[in-house]
Amino acid sequence: MSLTAALVDIESVSGNEQRIADEVERVLRPLAHLRVERVGHSVIARTALGRPERVVIAGHLDTVPLADNLPARRDGSRMYGLGTCDMKGGVAVALRLAATVPEPSRDVTYVFYECEEVEADRNGLGRMSREHPDWLTADFAILMEPTNATVEGGCQGTMRAEITTTGQRAHSARSWMGSNAIHAAQPVLARLLAYAPRVAEVDGLTYREGLNAVGIAGGVASNVIPDRCAVTVNFRFAPDRDVAMAEEHLREVFDGFEIEIRDSAPGARPGLDVPAAASFVSAIGRPPMAKYGWTDVSLFSSLGVPAVNYGPGDPNVAHARHEHVEVSQILECEERMAAWLTR
């Protein structure tokens, strides 16, 4: 557990990963069975044993901003501190595997990358995919996101859209002279209230979709009838829809309204029928679950690499002031992944 604590104690809020990347590189460089590369503050290490399969084991080095939760501290069965759950416990597992499994049954690419917790154009994994796509070539990938040591397959896609209603400004004392854009948004909210989210079975896993208002903006002044109102909605969609299909669905739901897509990211199918994935699930020994939320498995999917999320930690405490990880989960993840890599 000292490795997890040491990683946690290196403050690495997004954009400040140089020191932790230096340490990761320093640990990996002397290992003769690995070829180590670096781009920015992201580090990869690869075996080259000529195995018939290659897997990627990846984890991000950055954290969200501090919340008076450094340094790491042990309290019974738990370790507390920024990044213990998301995801330095998982990074510690990957580093231990890189150092202690010199002849895995599959070739392995270990990826430790920067800037996952911020905007996508800074993401270190994305940078690798653009500048060195061959580094990420593989048959299967494991992203060490916190999953309570359970395989979570694929991920949901996400789309954010703005639904705009318009009206005509007028003095609120003479409201009949205008048209209230906020009142005109009522049918938008009514459609959301009446919306029945789809449940989709994808590769044997159950994904629940969701369409919700997450923001509303309108109003000019307390004595003015507003002429514009915007409702922001977030659509979380199952990975059997692509981004184009998700947008088409939103436009159907809000037919007759002005709609602007603000941003989107595709989901990822689980790909559990791939032999390496099926073998991994068997080694973990628990039924896989669908991933609710978006993760970088989406990027692997876009590269044609099936990917799952698997790592120590409860995602419900990620980013929290009391962020923590069960020590037993770190040990379990290392033990089961090591067994899979050597079987």
Q: What positions carry a catalytic annotation?
A: 62, 116
Give the closest residue to 205 by CA, choosing from 121, 254, 271.
Answer: 271
Structure-token pair, residue 322: 């009391």
Measured on CA atoms in the order 276, 299, 147, 339, is the torsion positive or negative?
positive
Planar angle of CA 135, 136, 139, nearest 5 degrees: 130
Which helix (H) or strand (E) segment holds residue 94: the answer is helix 89-100
Q: Which amino acid is it at 149? A: A
Q: What's the rounded Cα separation, in Å, for the pair 293 and 155?
A: 6
Structure-token pair, residue 307: 């990917």
Helix, strand, or coil (residue 24): helix
Indicate the DSSP class of residue 4.
H
Give the closest residue to 333 by CA, choosing from 59, 97, 104.
Answer: 97
**DSSP bridge pairs for 211:** 235
Pairing of strands 107-113, 78-80: unpaired
Print burial letters for 283-304: b (CB count within 10 Å at least 16), e (below 16): ebeeebbbbeebbbbbbbbeee
Residue 221 has φ and ψ, to the nearest 5°, of -160, 165
